[in-house]
């Protein structure tokens, strides 16, 4: 099989100056990386009035995310950045408040709950196929739009038992895009601890407006369910919102308030829709360049499912499809960096990390680290059969983070991705358009600034007709 090294932003030869970082990273935080970033164990960025460390060494990563997680809570700047959209959700809180929320929400993503919502997930995948079937055979299409639509549809179906129509989907997608575009512009002055007079007020205003629009759409669905539950007539729902409405704090005996529910559902929408859409779009880009891998994926899907609809147990049986998605998460982790804040002064390697310093764990760098992976920039879903890749998985693979704050929706995301990819390769072939290259940008998630374009061809069914 020929080798394929997919696109990623070309790193600078040398570290950028503080001034260049301030203005250069307004478009994408990936623009601030330089060649040594992909091979260093720990780096320091000196900013005016701030201390920032990039940590890539596996033992230090484990110390920060697992062994001393309480000493390195989520960074306060993330809370400030995301508060207009996520409020005080589990994604941004720390300490006792986070622990209460996590305890109340864990049951919503247990295996039994995921099995209950699988039919809802499967219905969204079927609706995706219906939309794609309407395209002209051989059409060139921005598959990023469809991955955004189907993952949003899955979230609405599995969390709220609601379908997501195209108009609503496009509006939410546009608002999320606007929110993401503003994020680096707002985040940079926070990192540099600039006075409020230098705050990007226009970006903040646009970001807040987008957040209000998204939350307003969610509130329309949540309010009737919340009121009905409080009135003792919750209805017969099997979705995740039903489990959140039933959740009770084991210590205080209290349930989520309406505002808390909106916060958590907004968080689930961001974490379960935006991140999955990012990863699936990149997966389509990757397989569109590797016809031989696509054919093997198709053969695997047909061997497991045949002409019937997928079952819950089918997804984990498709090893190659799983490895394609695992490799996609390595090359294009949706959340490219995790920001933590040191609560005490301590030594790391030859440096002193002071209390209040920003500590960044970057899956984007760790997954492509020159000392931690063989052929780190190459797309190779077959690599995971080797001993070296299995070792790399243990120490240098963290698309869902690690430790107590590991993503509670990881199994949900893997099930969703397996179902969508199996559905796509079973019914279609995807080719890369000539002369087109996606442009990765790092904002809240890693997306392509110019979409992910593919040529879609319908496969023939057993009767010889197009799927």
Q: Is the pLDDT of residue 170 over 60?
A: yes
Lowest-confidence segment of 125-139, 197-211, 352-366, 424-438 by average pLDDT:
197-211
Q: What pLDDT does residue 279 have?
A: 97
Q: What pLDDT does residue 26 have?
A: 56
Q: What pLDDT does residue 176 have?
A: 79
Q: Is the pLDDT of residue 122 over 90?
A: yes
Q: Is the pLDDT of residue 358 over 80?
A: yes
Lowest-confidence segment of 122-126, 267-271, 354-358 by average pLDDT:
267-271
pTM across the whole model = 0.92
Q: What pLDDT does residue 27 have?
A: 65
Q: What pLDDT does residue 16 have?
A: 62
- Please state, for a pLDDT cut of 90, what percent of the chain lies above it: 71
Q: What pLDDT does residue 2 have?
A: 65
Enter the tokens of residue 335: 């959340």
Residue in 180, 132, 188 with CA at minimum distance from that of residue 448: 180
More confident residue, 333 or 164: 333
Q: What pLDDT does residue 21 have?
A: 59
Q: Is the pLDDT of residue 113 over 90?
A: no
More confident residue, 168 or 341: 341
- Over residues 310-331, the mean pLDDT reads 96
Q: What pLDDT does residue 462 have?
A: 55
CA 267 vs. chain centroid, Å, equals 12
Q: What is the 3-state secondary structure (H, E, C) of the chain?
A: CCCCCCCCCCCECCCCCHHHHHHHCCCCHHHHCEHHHHCCCEEEEEECCEEEEEECCHHHHHHHHHHCHHHCCECHHHHHHHHHHHCCCCCCCCHHHHHHHHHHHHHHHCHHHHHHHHHHHHHHHHHHHHHHHCCCCCEEEEHHHHHHHHHHHHHHHHHHCCCCCHHHHHHHHHHHHHHHHHHHHHHHHHHCCCCHHHCCHHHHHHHHHHHHHHHHHHHHHHHHHHHHHHCCCCCCCCCHHHHHHHCCCCCCCCCCCHHHHHHHHHHHHHHHHHHHHHHHHHHHHHHHCCHHHHHHHHHHHHHHHCCCCCCHHHHHHCHHHHHHHHHHHHHCCCCCCEEEECCCCEEECCEEECCCCEEEECHHHHCCCCCCCCCCCCCCHHHHHCHHHHHHHHHCCCCCCCHHHCCCCHHHHHHHHHHHHHHHHHHEEEECCCCCCCCEEECCCEEECCCCEEEEEECECCCCCEC
Q: Is the pLDDT of residue 311 over 80?
A: yes
Q: What is the 3-state secondary structure (H, E, C) of 183-212?
A: HHHHHHHHHCCCCHHHCCHHHHHHHHHHHH
Residue in 205, 130, 220, 244 with CA at minimum distance from that of residue 168: 220
Helix (H), strand (E) at residue 441: strand 440-442
Lowest-confidence segment of 96-105, 159-168, 189-198, 242-251 by average pLDDT:
189-198
Q: What pLDDT does residue 192 have?
A: 67
Q: What pLDDT does residue 463 have?
A: 45
Q: Is the pLDDT of residue 329 over 60?
A: yes
Q: Is the pLDDT of residue 103 over 50?
A: yes
Average pLDDT, the chain: 90
- Over residues 393-404, the mean pLDDT reads 96
Helix, strand, or coil here: 43?
Answer: strand
Banded pLDDT at 362 (limits 50, 70, 90):
very high
Distance CA 161, CA 178 (A): 26
Q: What pLDDT does residue 17 have?
A: 59
Domain 18-458 has CATH 1.10.3720.10: no
Banded pLDDT at 437 (limits 50, 70, 90):
very high
């Amino acid at each position: 099989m020929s080798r394929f090294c997919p696109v990623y932003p070309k790193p600078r030869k040398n570290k950028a100056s503080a001034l260049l970082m301030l203005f250069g990273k307004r478009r994408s935080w990936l623009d601030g990386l330089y060649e040594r970033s992909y091979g260093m164990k720990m780096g320091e960025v000196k900013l005016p009035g701030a201390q920032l460390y990039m940590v890539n060494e596996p033992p230090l990563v484990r110390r920060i995310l697992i062994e001393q997680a309480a000493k390195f809570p989520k960074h306060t700047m993330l809370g400030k950045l995301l508060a207009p959209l996520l409020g005080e959700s589990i994604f941004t809180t720390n300490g006792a408040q986070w622990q209460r929320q996590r305890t109340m929400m864990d049951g919503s993503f247990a295996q039994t709950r995921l099995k209950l919502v699988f039919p809802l997930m499967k219905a969204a995948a079927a609706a995706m196929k219906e939309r794609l079937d309407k395209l002209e055979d051989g059409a060139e299409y921005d598959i990023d739009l469809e991955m955004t639509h189907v993952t949003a549809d899955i979230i609405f179906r599995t969390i709220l038992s609601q379908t997501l129509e195209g108009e609503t989907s496009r509006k939410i997608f546009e608002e999320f895009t606007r929110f993401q575009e503003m994020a680096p512009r707002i985040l940079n002055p926070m990192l540099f601890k600039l006075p409020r007079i230098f705050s990007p007020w226009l970006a903040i205003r646009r970001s807040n407006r987008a957040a209000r629009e998204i939350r307003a759409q969610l509130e329309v669905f949540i309010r009737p369910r919340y009121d009905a539950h409080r009135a003792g007539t919750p209805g017969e729902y099997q979705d995740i919102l039903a489990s959140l409405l039933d959740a009770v704090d084991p210590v205080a005996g209290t349930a989520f308030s309406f505002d808390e529910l909106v916060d958590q559902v907004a968080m689930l929408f961001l974490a379960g829709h935006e991140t999955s859409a990012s990863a699936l779009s990149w997966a389509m880009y990757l397989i569109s360049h590797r016809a031989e891998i696509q054919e093997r994926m198709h053969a695997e899907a047909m061997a497991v499912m045949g002409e019937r609809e997928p079952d819950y147990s089918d997804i984990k049986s498709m090893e190659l499809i799983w490895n394609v998605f695992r490799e996609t998460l390595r090359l294009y982790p949706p959340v490219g960096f995790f920001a933590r804040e040191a609560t005490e002064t301590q030594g790391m390697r030859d440096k002193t990390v002071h209390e209040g310093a920003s500590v960044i764990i970057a899956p984007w760098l760790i997954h492509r680290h020159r000392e931690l992976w063989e052929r780190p920039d190459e797309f190779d879903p077959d690599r995971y059969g080797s001993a070296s890749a299995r070792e790399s998985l243990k120490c240098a693979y963290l698309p869902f983070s690690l430790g107590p704050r590991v993503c509670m929706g990881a199994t949900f995301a893997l099930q969703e991705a397996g179902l969508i990819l199996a559905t796509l390769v079973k019914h279609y072939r995807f080719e890369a358009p000539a002369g087109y290259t996606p442009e990765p940008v790092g904002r809240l998630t890693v997306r392509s600034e110019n979409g992910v374009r593919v040529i879609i061809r319908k496969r023939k069914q057993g009767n010889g007709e197009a799927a």
